[in-house]
Amino acid sequence: MNPTESNGMSEENPSLTDRQRRVIPHLLTSPSTEEACRRARINKTTVYEWLKDDSFRNELKAQRDAVIERALDSLKANIAKATETLVKHLDSVRESISIRAAEDLIEFAQKALEHEELEGRIQALEEKLIRQGGYR
C-alpha cells in the first residue's frame, strides 16, 4: 500500500491533524517507528508524543485492525487453493517436498481441530452462563 493513497481503512478522525493522519499509514507499513517518522518526514519525538494521545492511538489501532482484517480475509479466500497445492505436492517425486507437504497438512489440520474444539468449549461455557443468568 502506498502510504499517500487513501486507504479506506477508517473514517477520518476529525480530532487528528493532517500530520497525524499522514504518519499513520507509515506507522502501519514501516518496520519501525523511527523509519515511519523518516518516511513521513515528521520528528520522532513528535510521533512518540502523539502515541501517548488516546485519540491518535485509537485511530492507529483501528487502521491496524482493518489491515489485519483484510489480510485474514485474503488468507481465508485462498485457503482452499493453498490446501490443493499442498495435496498436489504429496505425490511429488522429490521426497523432501512430499514430506514437507504432508507435515504442513497435518499441522494445519491439527490447528483447525484445536480451534474447532476451543470454539465448542467457549460456546458451551457461554450457554451455561446464559442459563445461569450471568452473561448477556
Mean pLDDT of the chain: 88
Q: Are 65 and 9 in contact (CB under 8 A)?
A: no
Q: Which three cell numbers stand for residue 78?
A: 485462498
DSSP letter at 104? H
> Backbone phi, then psi, for 107, in 5-degree steps?
-60, -45
Q: Which pLDDT does position 13 carry in this prediction? A: 75
What cell does 13 get?
478522525
Q: How many CA atoms lie within 13 A of 58 on its CB side?
A: 9
pLDDT reading at 108 higher than 60:
yes
Note the pLDDT tens digit of each residue in 29-53: 999 999 999 999 999 999 999 999 9
CA–centroid distance for 121 within its chain = 24
